[in-house]
Amino acid sequence: MKIAVFVSGGGTNLQAIIDNIKSGYLEGVEICLVVASNSSAYALTRASDNGIPSCVLSVKDFADRDSWDQAVLDKVESSGAELIVLAGYLSLLGDKVVKAYSNRIINIHPALIPSFCGAGMYGIKPHKAVLARGVKVSGATVHFVNENYDDGPIILQKAVDVLPGDTPEMLQKRIMKECEQVILPKAIRLIADGKVAIENNIAYVKED
């Protein structure tokens, strides 16, 4: 299964996918394209270090959102990608891409949806909000993408305890390592194996 991975920053989730392909856990999965929302994303270095084709498609480089949306769709379709993986991608995808890849786009969110998600809740922000609210568990969610932020059917979630003395950065690091980098490759494996079905906006996972 060919996948296109969309990134905006450090690319630790991209790296987790690359590592899981190399280890054989994601056997049969190939990253055919990395799309970055900005040219300073370190994820681009990870792509080139691993011989993966990449491009930068930033909405501000286009006349309007519509032409940016079309350019993203053209690029992804011509790469042969069957699944789009948003791995720390911080822009809202355009309608054309969402429609063309309906139920074939997944996103990793650094909190337990439906808490601490939606517009403005990205990067370190959910972790700050988690600590400010004093909740006792947080984690990550992999879900299908629709036209709204963090709104599509939930595929996998993994939780960790919020520990006394946690800073947003400590919590973020623990969630990335123990949750995101585990459930994102796992969701890709499940989809590649045809083990995820959607019915009435609910994702059902068939595990062995």
**Rounded to an integer, what distance in angstroms lies between the CA atom of residue 41 and that of residue 116?**
24
109 is catalytic: yes
Rounded to the nearest 5°, which phi and psi values hold at 39? -75, -10
Q: Which helix (H) or strand (E) holds 73?
A: helix 65-79
User: Which of 28, 96, 30, 34 is CA-nearest to residue 62?
Assistant: 96
Question: Looking at the DSSP assignment, which residues form a beta bridge with residue 158?
Answer: 140
User: Do the beta carbons of residue 34 and residue 44 sit within 8 Å?
Assistant: yes
Q: Single out the residue of 87, 142, 191, 196 in contact with ligand GAR (rule: CB under 6 A).
A: 87
Stretch that binds ligand GAR, among 5-13, 32-40, 98-106, 162-170 (CB under 6 A): 5-13
Closest to ligand GAR by CB, 37 vs 79, is 37
User: Which of 62, 79, 81, 103 is CA-nearest to residue 204?
Assistant: 103
Is 88 a binding residue for ligand GAR by CB under 6 A? The answer is yes
Q: Which is the catalytic residue, given 109, 127, 143, 186?
A: 109
Both structure tokens of 131:
């600590």
**Rounded to an integer, what distance in angstroms lies between the CA atom of residue 122 and that of residue 125?**
6
Q: How far is the CB of 45 from ligand GAR (least distance, A)?
A: 12
Is 13 a binding residue for ligand GAR by CB under 6 A? The answer is yes
Q: How far is the CB of 208 from ligand GAR (least distance, A)?
A: 27
Is 110 a binding residue for ligand GAR by CB under 6 A? The answer is yes
Is 12 a binding residue for ligand GAR by CB under 6 A? The answer is yes
Closest to ligand GAR by CB, 120 vs 194, is 120
Is 162 a binding residue for ligand GAR by CB under 6 A? The answer is no
Type of residue numbered 9: G
User: Which of 154, 175, 192 is CA-nearest to residue 31?
Assistant: 192
Q: How far is the CB of 16 from ligand GAR (least distance, A)?
A: 8
Q: Which of residues 163-182 bind ligand GAR (CB under 6 A)?
A: 176, 180
**Rounded to an integer, what distance in angstroms lies between the CA atom of residue 86 and that of residue 13?**
9
Q: Look at the block and give the residue holding tokens 């392909």.
A: 21
Q: How far is the CB of 90 from ligand GAR (least distance, A)?
A: 6
Is 138 a binding residue for ligand GAR by CB under 6 A? The answer is no
Report the interface residues with ligand GAR, using CB under 6 A: 7, 9-13, 43, 87-88, 90, 108-110, 122-123, 176, 180
* Residues designated catalytic: 109
